[in-house]
Every structure is written in structure tokens, then in C-alpha cells.
């Protein structure tokens, strides 16, 4: 007999660690951003303005599925608000959020998803459910299309592009997969950098510094890069920096932290913040000193890290969310994240949905009016 328990208290969430890890290992949606370690750290830093709503499916006394959710309040207008259930680790466009979300469906996938939906349909103190950044490879979209036991209507919209590279067995095969121009550029940049500066090496963080020291150097490299473009950069507040340091420390204990630096004469010229998990490498954030930009030190760092991945027999290098042009120099393959949206059947929820769409349209129309090409 399957049944749901809902967890709202932080201490109960923290006690789930071992169970969570076991369920995630069985789930098709097994990625680094669904680990207990990541989500508990995220909640520690950014959970103060939301309500924890973790749903667990129990089969007799064993947890076999987990929906890591939270509930947040948003303002429609200054005096009127609506409630949204979202993935626990979702941060929209904010850089400290996870690139992927999902559900932990360890066993009886369809039955557990149905149970989650029926439970939320019954406990309808919400207006919308937004499951954003669900990988298209997730079990969820296919299961939703085949789920018939819920009256909740949903829509699935294509979201962000996520480039990735299946890793070959050898570095020679890797190079053969590049265009001639890209391959020659890499070789020329490495040759010129070594000629002008001397020793160029790949170093993992623990060969040089503590986790915290290494992260602070990454922050500086990332900020240098973005400030040279007149932009604030990823690590623009101490709150964001503290979160990333905590994640790095937690991941380091599990051997998931793959923080690499390209050093030039033992000085860091570029840094790449990655996670090694489930036989894959997830490339999260890069930073580099713009003084070395003519040598494409970012690409040289990617090359050396990818070579290290091949040596370690990893299966995939994930460039993660975003269609930045540099990623497609490395690979033409990509997946998409999907945005899944539910609207409550309540009259007020349908009214809010109409209002939100109307406001969005008004903002778009106003923006278009400012463009000269649309003026009479």
C-alpha cells in the first residue's frame, strides 16, 4: 500500500540523508542538483522566504520516491498574492540555482507520480506548480503524458538548451571530432602561451590550496572576466559567495568537487568549477584573467579538463544550461530543459493566470513601442 508523508520541518529533511541517497541512486533523474547534499545546502542559504514541502512515497515502511518541493508566495499586485509550488533548488535566472530539477522516482515510477499529483490536487492550497528546468531525458515528461489518474491540467514548454559531449575512449578520437579550424586554434594558443610565458599546467584545487582559498581565487578570476565586459559577474554578493563555498566544501567531502585551474608559471590564469558525479563531469562556472584572453585560456582549460575526464573513463562532459557560442565549438550535441506548468482548478487561480498573462503581454507591448521600427 503506497502512502504519502509530507515533510515541512528542517530537522526531518536533514534526517533523510541516507534514505535520500538510496532513492536517488535508483532514480532515472539522478543528477548532482538532486542530491541531498546540494539541496540541503541550498535550503540553508535561500530557504528563509519559502515553505518546505518535501513529499515522500512510502511502500509499507520504505521510502521509494521523493518530490523535493517548496512553496513560495508571489505578489500579483501590491495587495494580492498567489502561491507557487516549485522545485526546492530552483532559482530561475539567478546563478546560484541548480541547472536541473526533477523528482526522485526510485521504484514504481508511474504509481508514485500519480500519487504526488493526486495528493497536490487534494491539498490545493496553491495556485500554480512550476517544474522548471526538468531535463528532457527525465522520466517525468513521458510519465505525465501517460498519467490518467489526475485531473490536474499541465503544459510542457521547451526551455533552455544544454550542450553536452559524449566522451570518446582516447584523446586522439577527441581531436578528430573537432573542426580543423578549432583544432588548429587550440594548438596555436597553447604553443603561443608556452612560448610567451613558459610552464602551463592543469592543477586541481587540492594540489594548491584549501577549498575555501581555491574558491576565492575562482571568484576573483570570474569577476575579472565580467568586469572587463562591464558586467557585475556571478559572485557579486557575499551571500552568493558563501553559498558556493559551502557547496564546494560539502562536495569535496564526497569527492564530487572538480575545481581545476590552468596555471601559467604556477600562477592561476583560469579556473573551472565542475562537479564529477555519476560518471559525468558537470561544468558549472568558468573564470579567467582577461590579460590572457588572446591565448583563449578558457578553451585551453576546457581542453585539459576534458582530457583528464577521458583518462578517468568518464562518459560525458556536460556544459549545462545555456547556449553560449563557445560551447558549440566543442560539441554540436545538446538537450533541452523542459518547463512544466500546472494551474489549479480554483477560480482564483485561473483569474491569477489570466492576470499574469495580461501583465506579461502589456510589458512586451510596451517594450515594442519603444523600438523605433514599430513606431508609425
Using CA atoms, how far residue 202 sits from 133, 307, 317, 328, 347, in Å, is 32, 10, 17, 23, 59
Q: What does the block give as the cell for 91?
A: 532559482
Q: Structural domain boundaries of the chain?
A: 2-162+336-345, 168-314
pLDDT of residue 346: 83
pLDDT of residue 75: 79
Beta-bridge mates of residue 366: none
pLDDT of residue 8: 97
Round to whole Å and give the CA distance between 345 and 269: 55
> Where residue 96 falls among pLDDT bands split at 50, 70, 90?
low
Coil, helix or strand at residue 263: strand
User: 259-285, pLDDT tens digit by residue?
Assistant: 999 999 999 999 999 999 999 999 999
Contact 115, 123 (CB under 8 A): no
Alpha helices in the chain (DSSP H): 10-14, 17-26, 36-46, 109-122, 139-145, 171-176, 180-197, 211-227, 238-253, 297-311, 347-369
> Where residue 146 falls among pLDDT bands split at 50, 70, 90?
confident
Angle, CA of 12, 16 and 21, to the nearest 5°: 160
Q: Give whichever of 34-38, 71-75, 156-160, 238-242 has the largest mean pLDDT.
A: 34-38
CATH topology of domain 168-314: Aminopeptidase (3.40.630)
DSSP H or E stretch at residue 56? strand 50-59
CA 163 from centre of chain: 13
User: 49-59, pLDDT tens digit by residue?
Assistant: 899 999 999 99
Round to whole Å and give the CA distance between 321 and 324: 9
What is the CB neighbour count within 10 angstroms for residue 236? Answer: 15
pLDDT of residue 355: 73
DSSP H or E stretch at residue 157? strand 154-166
pLDDT above 80 for 129? yes
Mean pLDDT of the chain: 90
pLDDT of residue 362: 57
> Any idea how long the chain is?
376
pLDDT of residue 353: 77
* Common-topology check for domains 2-162+336-345 and 168-314: yes
> Where residue 367 falls among pLDDT bands split at 50, 70, 90?
very low
User: 58-79, pLDDT tens digit by residue?
Assistant: 999 999 999 999 999 887 666 6
pLDDT above 50 for 16? yes
pLDDT above 50 for 147? yes
Round to whole Å and give the CA distance between 21 and 24: 5
Q: What is the CATH number of domain 2-162+336-345?
A: 3.40.630.30
Amino acid at each position: 500500500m503506497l502512502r504519502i508523508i509530507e515533510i515541512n520541518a528542517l530537522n526531518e529533511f536533514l534526517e533523510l540523508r541516507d534514505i535520500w541517497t538510496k532513492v536517488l541512486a535508483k532514480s532515472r533523474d539522478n543528477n548532482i542538483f538532486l542530491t541531498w547534499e546540494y539541496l540541503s545546502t541550498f535550503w540553508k542559504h535561500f530557504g528563509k522566504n519559502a515553505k518546505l514541502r518535501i513529499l515522500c512515497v512510502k511502500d509499507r515502511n520504505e521510502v521509494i520516491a521523493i518530490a523535493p518541493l517548496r512553496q513560495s508566495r508571489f505578489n500579483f499586485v501590491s495587495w494580492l498574492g498567489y502561491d507557487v509550488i516549485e522545485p526546492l533548488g530552483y532559482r530561475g535566472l539567478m546563478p546560484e540555482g541548480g541547472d536541473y530539477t526533477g523528482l526522485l522516482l526510485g521504484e514504481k515510477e508511474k504509481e508514485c507520480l500519480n500519487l504526488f499529483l493526486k495528493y497536490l490536487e487534494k491539498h490545493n492550497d496553491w495556485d500554480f506548480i512550476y517544474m522548471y528546468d526538468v531535463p528532457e531525458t527525465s522520466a517525468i515528461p513521458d510519465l505525465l503524458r501517460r498519467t490518467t489518474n489526475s485531473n490536474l491540467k499541465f503544459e510542457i514548454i521547451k526551455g533552455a538548451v544544454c550542450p553536452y559531449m559524449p566522451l570518446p575512449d582516447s584523446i586522439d578520437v577527441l581531436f578528430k571530432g573537432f573542426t580543423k579550424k578549432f583544432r588548429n586554434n587550440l594548438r596555436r594558443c597553447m604553443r603561443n602561451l608556452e612560448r610567451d610565458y613558459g610552464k602551463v599546467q592543469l592543477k586541481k584545487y587540492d594540489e594548491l590550496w584549501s577549498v575555501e582559498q581555491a574558491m576565492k581565487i575562482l571568484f576573483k578570476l570570474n569577476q575579472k572576466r565580467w568586469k572587463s565586459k562591464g558586467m557585475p559577474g556571478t559572485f557579486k554578493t557575499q551571500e552568493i559567495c558563501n553559498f558556493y563555498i559551502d557547496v564546494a566544501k560539502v562536495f569535496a567531502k564526497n569527492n564530487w568537487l572538480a575545481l581545476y585551474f590552468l596555471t601559467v608559471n604556477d600562477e592561476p590564469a583560469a579556473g573551472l568549477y565542475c562537479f564529477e558525479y555519476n560518471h559525468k563531469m558537470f561544468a558549472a562556472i568558468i573564470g579567467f584573467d582577461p590579460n590572457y584572453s588572446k591565448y583563449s585560456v578558457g578553451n585551453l582549460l576546457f581542453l585539459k579538463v576534458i582530457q583528464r575526464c577521458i583518462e578517468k573513463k568518464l562518459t560525458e562532459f556536460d556544459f549545462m544550461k545555456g547556449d553560449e557560442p563557445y560551447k558549440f565549438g566543442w560539441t554540436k550535441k545538446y538537450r533541452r530543459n523542459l518547463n512544466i506548468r500546472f494551474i489549479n482548478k480554483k477560480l482564483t487561480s485561473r483569474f491569477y493566470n489570466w492576470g499574469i498573462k495580461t501583465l506579461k503581454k502589456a510589458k512586451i507591448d510596451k517594450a515594442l513601442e519603444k523600438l523605433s521600427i514599430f513606431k508609425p
